[in-house]
Amino acid sequence: MEAIVVALTLRATRSSRPPWMAIYSGLVGLVAVVMFIATAEQIPHTVSLPAFWLMTGLALVAAALAFVTTDIRGASVVLCPVLCFSFATVLCWGLAPAILMQTLATAVVGLRLRDSAKHIGFIAAQYAVAFTAAYVVVQIGDPKPFATTTVVERLSDTATVILAAAAFLAVFLAQTIITARLTSPGFQWQKVRASLAHQALFLASLLLLSPVLAVAAHVNVFFVLLIILPLYAVQKMARLSAERDRAAWADPLTGLANRRGLQARFDDLRAGKPMALLMLDLDRFKHVNDALGHDVGDRLLVAIAQRLTRQTPAGGTVGRLGGDEFAILVPGVRDAEEAHEVARTVLAALAQPVRLDELDIDVTASAGVAVHPDQGTDFATLMRHADVALYEAKRRGDSAASYDPCVDLNSPQRLGLLADFRRALESPGDEIALHYQPQVALDSGELVGVEALLRWTHPTRGLISTPEVLQVAEHTSVMHLLTVRVIDDVVAQLAAWRAQNLRLRVSINISARDLYSGEVVEHLATRLREYDVPPDQIQVEITESALMGDPVRAYSTVMKIVGIGVAVSLDDFGTGYSSLQHLRKLPLAEIKVDRSFVAGMADNSDDAAIVRSTVELAASLGLRSVAEGVENEYTWGMLAQTHCSLAQGWSVARPMPGAELARWHTNRLHARASQAQLTL
């Protein structure tokens, strides 16, 4: 059990040794050698005793059979009860024999770990220094357990042994702390303190068994053998405790670090130093489970874990987060470009087929990258940012992507913006407003309809762009609140215009979320009845991307919309992948040519051809065509030649509030009448 403390020393001293560590190691070694030489006269008498050799043999066997594993950081953990024998030797025969026994046992463990002679000597020297402290206490107390007769003398002997054990613990743990402090820049006392408390308990258990062993050796040499079962029980409990601790930090299937283990490794490494976190997700892993079974899937995960471990740069830590998600912490990576290079190397290694049961299984993965400290100073933030980057890579179809705050829909800033938007929607006031952009007939210039467009003026940030608002809200329940608010405001505005003898058709956009649920249809029908607005004055615009997400539910909602007398327009036509199929199946009244094509008509013959073909297709199907983004008279003229139905854009008018639109329309009618009179 004492080797749990040794594991800390191993981890510390295997790192780069700073000058102070070299000085400290030399001092510890010097003290150990001096004390061994100073007490060497104890050895000739001791080596002639059968009890000494029996305990030494048992100690060496215990060292050879010690439970050896590694913790989540890759450091060696050794559970071995040698300390019980060597501390009993201090009590029975002095310091030099104890140092000799412990050094031999340490060498056996070191050989099993394939450790260097220098490091084995350093660990043995640390034990020797701790034994020296215990030996000084023993010499001062001078216990004579077989010569004392009074109660006071027996209590004094007991106190001496306890103080000697305490001296050993204090000196040994102090050396562990010093070693960790000198070799670990990220030394954190809070974490070390909890670990040392457990180690002190384990060490104390062995130390306080030593007096029993010492007395047994004096009474009957064969009584020493009776200690085997108690020591086995202690070691067994320590082993179970170590395995339980490892299970809390490691993934049970692959043996890699789990999320908790990765966080512990991050805490060890950070200390202001740069590092990268790579999060990987296997592509189409579910197909492997479905086709070959979960047993093969588990074996594939183990094979991938081994491959990732081999490909990870030195000092890196590979973890499995669950399912087919892995993460890699790579220290020393300073920027996204360097992290991308690591990701490309790892992904290239994964691209090689994995052979299982005479079958080659192709494996590909996507990776998200976040760099510490630029993209996260704590583990939770870095993990979330790497996760955002991962799903951005999947969305774009890239193999890897770095964290970009612009695409982080769940950043604290965006979450705050979403909360503010919800508050604005649920509260009365003028933060949320609708502006209306006119749609006029290309052949007559008559105002036929308008499109309702969202405007949100934040109390502190000012006007928020509509794309930013929609990007934050579109995948949340706030989007439904927005649709309801738009329906309420538009229907109320239509009623107000009707009172002014202004009859227009208003187009409103509904999100994919509302298109799939269909709840807005009933709300729209209720508002039309409440304000006594004819349903043909409302037109719902839907996008192809919304239709493609869930065509069955989308088609059902479209049929309900048409069923209450409201027309449906297909927005952003030409930017999807199955437009002709939608034109054939859906009861549409209108298609809108995407502004990206309309804006390029004047300079790009391909865009002009696409617009012309789309308008002709709409006419052949009996549908209206609306050109978005008409910004100049030249584009207007080209559209008129194609016989497009309606034009919408700054060449006609910018979006404006409802009251201003009514005045704009009146002024426009007067201007056109005056122009007609001048023409006559």
Q: Indicate whether 274 and 236 sit together in one domain.
A: no
Q: What is the pLDDT of residue 167?
A: 94
Query: Which of 356, 391, 407 is where one domain is finished?
Result: 407
Q: How far apart are CA 452 and CA 631, in angstroms?
A: 19
CA distances from 449 to 145, 282, 437, 492, 537 (A): 107, 50, 8, 16, 9
Say if CB 443 and CB 386 are below 8 A apart: no
With respect to residue 627, please indicate whether it lies within any of the assigned structural domains: yes
Provide the number of structural domains found in the chain. Answer: 3
What is the pLDDT at residue 1? 33
**Percent of residues in the chain assigned helix, strand, coil, to nearest 5:** 60, 15, 25
Per the listing, tokens 């583990």 go with 379
On whether both 457 and 521 belong to a single domain, the answer is yes
Cα distance between residue 91 and residue 218, in whole Å = 11
- Do 432 and 513 sit in the same domain of this protein? yes
Do residue 402 and residue 511 come from a single domain? Answer: no
Task: Tell me how far apart the alpha carbons of residues 563 and 604 are, in angstroms, rounded to a whole number.
Answer: 41
In a domain, 50, yes or no: yes
- Residue 554 — pLDDT band, cuts 50, 70, 90? confident
* Mean pLDDT confidence for 515-527: 89
Asked whether residue 93 is assigned to any structural domain, the reply reads: yes
Q: Which pLDDT does position 118 carry in this prediction?
A: 87
Q: Give CA–CA dist 183/268, Å, rounded.
A: 12
Residue 617 three-state SS: helix
CB 606 within 8 A of CB 574: no
- Report the DSSP pairing between strands 275-282 and 317-322: unpaired
| Band of pLDDT at residue 15, cut at 50, 70 and 90 | very low
Same domain, 165 and 87: yes
Q: What's the average model confidence in pLDDT over 411-424? A: 84
Q: 675: domain CATH number?
A: 3.20.20.450
CB neighbour list of residue 260: distance below 8 Å, 6 or more residues apart: 248, 249
Percent of the chain with pLDDT over 70: 89
pLDDT at 573: 80
* CATH code of residue 342: 3.30.70.270
Same domain? For 334 and 433 the reply is no
Higher-confidence residue: 648 or 9? 648
The whole model's pTM is what?
0.57
Average pLDDT of span 227-243: 73
- Within 8 A by CB and 6+ apart from 676, the residues are none
Mean pLDDT, rounded, for 118-123? 88
Res 578 pLDDT > 60: no
Q: Report the alpha-carbon distance of residue 113 to residue 351 in Å, rounded.
A: 34
Q: Is residue 127 part of a domain?
A: yes
Q: Please give the single-letter amino acid code of residue 615.
A: V
- Whether cis (ω within 30° of 0) applies to the bond prior to 373 is yes
Q: Is the pLDDT of residue 273 over 60?
A: yes
pLDDT in tens, 429-473: 789 999 999 999 998 889 999 999 999 999 898 999 888 888 888
Question: How many CB atoms sit inside 10 A of residue 579's CB?
Answer: 18
- Of the pLDDT bands very low, low, confident and very high (cuts 50, 70, 90), residue 75 is low
Lowest-confidence region among 178-192, 476-490, 506-520? 178-192
For 334-361, what is each residue's pLDDT tens digit? 888 888 888 888 888 888 888 888 788 8
> Taking a C-beta distance cutoff of 8 angstroms, is the pair 96, 70 a contact?
no
pLDDT at 194 over 90: no
Whether 254 is in a domain gets the answer no
Pair (314, 245) in one structural domain: no
CB 193 within 8 A of CB 46: no
Which pLDDT band holds residue 217 (cuts at 50, 70, 90)? confident
> What is the model's pLDDT at position 29?
86
Helices (H), 500-571: 512-517, 519-531, 544-549, 551-563
User: Do 309 and 187 have their domain in common?
Assistant: no
Rounded Cα–Cα distance for residues 382 and 336 (Å): 13
Q: Give the confidence band of 546 by pLDDT, cuts at 50, 70, 90.
A: confident
Query: Of the ranges 192-196, 456-460, 577-581, which one carries the lowest mean pLDDT score?
Result: 577-581
Contact residues for 677 (Cβ-Cβ < 8 A; gap 6+): none
- Asked if 324 and 282 count as a contact pair (C-beta separation under 8 A), the reply is yes
Of 407, 429, 456, the residue at which a domain comes to its end is 407
Residues 312 and 228 in one domain: no
| Last residue within a domain, chosen from 205, 230, 249 | 249
User: H or E stretch including 389?
Assistant: helix 379-396
Q: Are residues 123 and 181 in the same domain?
A: yes
Is the backbone of residue 133 left (phi > 0), alpha (psi -120 to 50) or beta? alpha
Quote the tokens at residue 125.
């020297």
Does the residue 519 lie in any domain?
Answer: yes
Report if residue 439 sits inside a domain: yes
Considering the domain architecture, whether residues 324 and 454 belong to the same structural domain is answered as no
pLDDT score recorded for residue 677: 66
Average pLDDT of the chain, as a whole number? 84
What type of residue sits at position 289? Answer: N
pLDDT, residue 13, reads 38
Task: Report if residue 575 sits inside a domain.
Answer: yes
Question: What average pLDDT score do residues 198-212 get?
Answer: 83
Q: Quote the radius of gyration of the chain (alpha carbons, Å).
A: 39
**Domain co-membership, 390 together with 463:** no
Mean of the pLDDT values across residues 382-388?
Answer: 88
Domain assignment of residue 193, given as a range: 3-249
